[in-house]
Structure 1
Amino acid sequence: MKYVIVHAGGMAHHPQEELGGRTPLQVAATPHLDRLAQSGELGRLMIPADGVHHGGGLVGTVILGYDPKKFYPGPGPLEAASLGVSGTEQDVVFRCTMVTVMPASGKGGEIKKLGQHVILDDATAGLIETEEARELIEAINEQLGSETIQFYPGAGHRHLMVWVKGKPRAICTDPQTIVGQSIAEVLPKGDGADILRQLMDAAYFILRDHPLNEERVAAGKKPANCIWLWGEGRAVMWPSLVEKYQVTGAVVATNDVHRGVGICAGLDAVDPDRMASGDLHTKAAVALEEFAKRDFVYVHAKLADEVIHGTDIKAKVQGIEEFDRHLVGPLFEGLSQQGPYRFLVICDHTAGIEGPAFYAFGEGGGRGSETVGRRFTETDAFAMNMPARDATKFVNKFFSKS
């Protein structure tokens, strides 16, 4: 038996006026996802996260069967696992996101200190590319790094800071939730927040005057002129999914957080260089190659950041159609040639916190009894006459031997 879980990150959406009150999934042509919904089980998933600080990797954690109240450490430690950044259980890992801030008075103003009169203009620093961001993170580490504070480059605007034997109880905010707003009320608060604020202030002046940012501004790009510290947590040891269910497994993901989820669960992480092209067809091919030597593959795929966080709804529809055509379709075709299999697709809203998740689950070739007309959409999943399943327990059904 082969097992595949595909996490469709951020593809669920609320009804859109410009789509006639429908969601992008309802508008998109998704024959392969619809086939799974028609021939298998379609329903809602409950993400038991009450009291848990939300962030990237939360849904992946529960999909693989881990109670987030016990095991979800926050996105920082998950990224650290993916990047091979090691530390002790006493060290606190923060996401260090490169952002663009500007004076509330406009471009002509001057920022003397991060606070009330500063607006977070862009939570991705204009989708800064990895090589440029690496140069900036290294400049920060050279001037602010110490025995207790270390900065580590990641990908794009996403990087890490490790506070050795640091304080994990500061209250920090996801920068995506405050774009266009004053940062005054959402700067770090609580135990250890003074240190975090000092680091963010100091980093601002390093970045503001860095030649690379001067070049970006001259080229009409947004400067990566500030770091935003959030997503903090300490590493947590997870019981191995591989050992519990007696399967061999791999995680196929280009996103560091979701690679980290797989690694923490005991899965082997596929080298992201094998998916350097970034296209979904390559991701499907890599997953199928892994099935030649493994029982289980966890695949994470999401729409591009500019699509998820942008306002172009039609681009989201197109992205969903490409996901169905280039990832789900080839996986169906490839698995059907390898004998019995189980196929689970889970779809959630952006970051998994804007609305409930839903799923479609089927076995074999998906050629059993079918519910004609049923589609892989939010509306059809929520119309099913059954309660939402606990996402942390669904994996037991998925790997059951019966």
Structure 2
Amino acid sequence: MGQRRKNTKDILARINFPLYTVQMLTTRYVIVGGGGGTSKTGVANGFEIFELSHDGTKFIAEEVTRHETGGNVVMYSTAYSDNKRSYVVAGQESHCQLYNVNSMLVTEDDVENIGNNVSDSRQRKSNSNEKTDKNKNVNKRLQFVMSPGDSIQTDFDGSEPLSRVARISHNGKLLATGGTDGVIRLWKFPSLQPLTKLKAHLKEIDDIDFSQYGNYLATVAKDGLAILWDCVKGKEHSRVSWKQPEGSKYIYKRCRFGRIEGEEKSALYTLTNPTGLARKQKSYLQQWLPDTGALRRIAEFDESICALAVRDDGRFVAVGTMFSGSVSIYASFSLQRILNVSGAHSMFVTGLEFLPVHNENRTVSSVVECAVLSISVDNHVCIHTLPYRRTMPVWVGIFILLITLFITFMLCSYVGL
């Protein structure tokens, strides 16, 4: 069983709108999105970008940028960054909207003049993102500006078209989208030129993901299917399936690829929930080998599970629950639960994102063994950390071994063996 903690210390920030998506924009900056929809409730729609830091005791999130999207709620997003540029793709009704995210250094006096693309004057000042111009002796801060680019229709359901999910490939060359019409569309990224359509599912798409290795694209939908595609050839590779309990029906809710630690191979993780008369049965986190389609490991849950993330090095998997709003972290090699935060949110978890560790420079996540961000429609951004677990130093193990051998030798000599 995992350890349990009170979640009040885990709250990083509270946003004034419900949250549906969270992505790491860079190794230190996280972007969250959501909103209240088109109804005149006074609840905003949009994004907020935070800088993450650690003060030696706890993680801190400092608001850097706020970008409102008018009447369009942000139900999902996918981000891509390299050394030159950053992009965010977000769903808006039947379309996907591309945003170019540019960084700049501004003075405190410039903040209000940038308008909707930056946070307001009430934000806290962060020493970590302030810089001094030695020539003018003026403090400057790093800000991001989100500029809308192209918008493409990605769902063509006849009655109510709705784009449900999008994902940018790890190399930043492909974008995959899915909606209520059950069709997966592949686009060249970032030009958004259409490439191919995969007639994947009979019902709306719930999730998609690109693998780090093997050119796989995984798709899951409300028709109960989980399909692996060769996204280079644009053809179906295989379908993952398992022997379900008799008289039950399960639907895949989420899918994520993760690197198999120490190998240049990917594992596929899925969340599977019972439906209909089988709802009192267990839900499962499943680990698959995409090359063979074999079900490798499973972990059980007593309630429906709805959010999934895998760390970039493949070592840890995080799962969020529907009813209790809990977050759990698992070791990927065994699917053993090593941390459980019961009631992390007051409502269901809408998104999870690990702080990255793959970077040449020291990242903010290096102060703990593992850290994962969680969001919910309760407006909270939380962080859940796994401290470095104590291990015995090598020299202590060798010393104990030598002492054991010495005592054994003396005992054998004493009894004449």
Asked whether the two chains share a fold, i.e. TM above 0.5, the reply is: no
Q: Using CA pairs below 8 Å that are at least 6 residues apart, which structure has the higher relative contact order?
A: 1
TM-score (structure 1 length as normaliser): 0.29
Which structure has more strand as a fraction of its residues? 2
Which structure has more helix as a fraction of its residues? 1
TM-score (structure 2 length as normaliser): 0.28
Q: Over alpha carbons, which structure has the higher Rg?
A: 2
